[in-house]
Structure 1
Amino acid sequence: MGDLLGVAVLGAGRMGADHIRRLDQVVSGARVAAVADPDTARAEEAVDGIEGVSVHDDAVAALDAPGVDAVLIASPGPAHEEALLAAFARGLPVLCEKPMVPDPAGALRVVEAEARLGRRLAQTGFMRRYDAEYRRLKSLLESGRLGRPLMLHCTHRNVSSPPHFTSAMLINSSVSHEIDAARWLLGQELTAVTVLRPTSSQAAPDGLLDPQFVVFETEHGALVDVEVFVNCGFGYQVRCEAVCEAGSARIGDDHTMVVTARGSAQQDVPQDYLVRFADAYDREVRAWVDATRKGRVTGPSVWDGYAAAVVAEAGVRALESGRRVAVDLAPRPHLYAEVGR
């Protein structure tokens, strides 16, 4: 076990438990060394059958547990800043699920703390960058075969929203994925956001503005629109079409099994993100483990996490005001030289 990367997983909820399973059963080169969750019974259940794991009700205690070489943060967003700064203080590499830190001020403190170290320790968990279709689209856009990208048309649909979901969360929780994907695909910062509010679906809980239509402007004049609909009722769908000067390319057309019988065709639709992006999560954690074992940090940076927080906050203000809101980013430290790199 000494040759394996010992990972402390913070959070044993649905996402954390899935990562515990992934580290134990799917990804080679790593093991679960410690788990922290205020609900220790839930943590014990998540590590049932895994040997050599210590369970804690405190995140910092898990970082100091024997055999911990790195940290995977899958706790609720408000707990991320403290955990990230504690990991930095111990020199521990981190993979932090999104949102890196929900509020821009806290996210900027994380950026500044890592910049003071003079080296990257943390990767932000925007898993779409590891999805095979998204990677193909990124490669195509970078090749220049279709000319400059002019627009991205995005769709983000969920079967239903959890009870605690708010209108703002359609942007700062759901659309945050499109925010990062757009920055990464285009290699541009987002500079302004407008949110349009069609009539809410009858399936939406009272008071929830769902669906929403979000439009982002970029620093080089491209436009990105996102239809976000979190109570569509039929499945989990994520699509993206890039419209360029000399052609277009679309991903996310549900390439699943189609059954044709009795004069009709039926196609499965994924019901949640853990099904649709299962392979992307595997690739993401595998890449993080491989890089960490070599002393490297790759993938989305804490600057990417900060930028997503700032754009999302601007989006929420646009939703509430009905006006176009400019995005105001702090100067980017030299440690994070390129957008979406």
Structure 2
Amino acid sequence: MSELLGVAVLGAGHMGADHIRRIDRVVSGARVAAVADPETGRAQEAVAGIDGVSVHAEVAAALDTPGVQAVLIASPGPAHEEALLAAFARGLPVLCEKPMVPDSTGALRVVAAEARLGRRLAQIGFMRRYDAEYQRLKSLLDSGRLGRPLMLHCTHRNVSSPPGFTTAMLVDSSVSHEIDAARWLLGQELTAVTVLRPRSSSYAPEGLADPQLVLFETAEGALVDVEIFVNSGFGYQVRCEAVCESGSARIGDEHTMLVTTAGGACEDVAQDYLVRFADAYDREVQAWVDATRDGRVVGPTAWDGYAASAVAEAGVRSQHSGTREPVDLAPRPELYT
């Protein structure tokens, strides 16, 4: 493909606007051809100064815009299934932000639809797989230098939760990244989930049980624990420590500017995931563009998106039951083996 890849971006909110900027200013080989958002004024603002972009209120209109060759879905999770199926119907490659589809039943419908096509079209936006630190940890674990992984200790903290954020979303939205990262780092499926709820922080909005401790069991006997705290008040922190038979390795310690002055020292703490994982998002979208222009599909699959939704659903069940909940996965289609 010699010309720039024409991308339709669905959703012009916080994430979508950042992807529009990324495609226009950072990524090579692609251009923003169309944007769809029910709030067309927001979409117009996101594409201000970018030539040749059409703005639409409806997904279908954006996908049918002349010159659109691929789709980036950054709309809210409940809208993803319809957008994915519409892209599949047009044979358009897709990069879909997580969660692929919030509920496992809908996610399985997406998997089945892609399997019927007999070829992959979707890459799911688990961008931690493109983070340099996560990639180094993955390489180390795969090398076997530290022996078998026994445990992963994960921390996921946000400054504050957005309006409308629910207790279930701590697991099915925020922890979905740790679900995929654990499956990818360990090369194992997660088989059971237990959610423990300490007393809530006084800074959590009324009715939100925050923080929580999420414990995953894997198919080969490893354990993964995740502290999720979405109203920490001080910064955005993501850490992961792998404890293995012959050693451990930790990523996510901030390597930012340290200012020392009379009587103390101060280190910057990222306030937003778009800051902490800026490079990972850039690498992810560039890899998707490069592969799409070459007629390939790489990265996390629709099956990975389904598995994350199924594990998260078990986690939400555990939030309510307070007990260990098993994860039941459907048979994996041959397309993803």
Q: Does 1:160 align with 2:160?
A: yes
Mapped to 2, the partners of 1:59 and 1:109 lie a distance apart of 19
Could you say which residue in structure 2 is the equivalent of 1:233? 233
Could you say which residue in structure 2 is the equivalent of 1:56? 56
Could you say which residue in structure 1 is the equivalent of 2:76? 76
Could you say which residue in structure 1 is the equivalent of 2:94? 94
Matches within 5 A, 1:160-309: 160-309=160-309
Mapped to 1, the partners of 2:226 and 2:244 lie a distance apart of 17
Q: Deviations over 1:47-86 (max 9, x none)?
A: 1111111110001110000100000000111111011011
Q: Deviations over 1:116-152 (max 9, x none)?
A: 1111000000000000000000000000000000000
- Offset of residue 335 of structure 1: 1.2
Q: Does 1:136 align with 2:160?
A: no
Mapped to 2, the partners of 1:45 and 1:204 lie a distance apart of 32
Q: Does 1:116 align with 2:116?
A: yes
After superposing the two structures, state which structure 1 stretch, 124-133 or 260-269, moved more.
260-269
Could you say which residue in structure 2 is the equivalent of 1:145? 145
Could you say what secondary structure the match of 1:92 adopts?
coil
Could you say what secondary structure the match of 2:334 adopts?
coil
Mapped to 2, the partners of 1:56 and 1:126 lie a distance apart of 27
Could you say which residue in structure 2 is the equivalent of 1:24? 24
Aligned length: 337
- Offset of residue 301 of structure 1: 0.3
- Residue type of the partner of 1:332? R
Mapped to 2, the partners of 1:148 and 1:253 lie a distance apart of 23
- Offset of residue 265 of structure 1: 1.2
Mapped to 1, the partners of 2:208 and 2:43 lie a distance apart of 32
Q: Does 1:4 align with 2:13?
A: no
Mapped to 2, the partners of 1:92 and 1:65 lie a distance apart of 12
After superposing the two structures, state which structure 1 stretch, 156-165 or 236-245, moved more.
156-165
Mapped to 2, the partners of 1:115 and 1:227 lie a distance apart of 35
- Offset of residue 334 of structure 1: 1.4
Moved over 3 A (4+): none
Could you say which residue in structure 2 is the equivalent of 1:46? 46
- Residue type of the partner of 1:274? L
- Residue type of the partner of 2:287? A
TM-score when normalising by structure 2: 0.99
Q: Deviations over 1:205-240 (max 9, x none)?
A: 111111000000000000000000011110000000
Q: Which runs of 5+ in 2 are unaligned?
A: none
Could you say what secondary structure the match of 1:168 adopts?
helix
After superposing the two structures, state which structure 1 stretch, 280-289 or 2-11, moved more.
2-11
Identity %: 82
Could you say which residue in structure 2 is the equivalent of 1:319? 319
- Residue type of the partner of 2:257? M
- Offset of residue 163 of structure 1: 1.9
- Offset of residue 2 of structure 1: 7.0
Tell me how large the CA RMSD over aligned residues is: 0.9
- Residue type of the partner of 1:129? R
Mapped to 1, the partners of 2:103 and 2:195 lie a distance apart of 19
Could you say what secondary structure the match of 1:281 adopts?
helix
Q: Deviations over 1:251-293 (max 9, x none)?
A: 0011111111113111000001011000100000000000000
Mapped to 1, the partners of 2:207 and 2:43 lie a distance apart of 34
Mapped to 2, the partners of 1:160 and 1:45 lie a distance apart of 25
Mapped to 2, the partners of 1:8 and 1:29 lie a distance apart of 14
Mapped to 2, the partners of 1:177 and 1:115 lie a distance apart of 24
Could you say which residue in structure 1 is the equivalent of 2:328? 328
Q: Does 1:107 align with 2:91?
A: no
- Offset of residue 18 of structure 1: 0.3
- Residue type of the partner of 1:181? A
Mapped to 2, the partners of 1:75 and 1:207 lie a distance apart of 26
Could you say what secondary structure the match of 1:260 adopts?
strand
Q: Which runs of 5+ in 1 are unaligned?
A: none
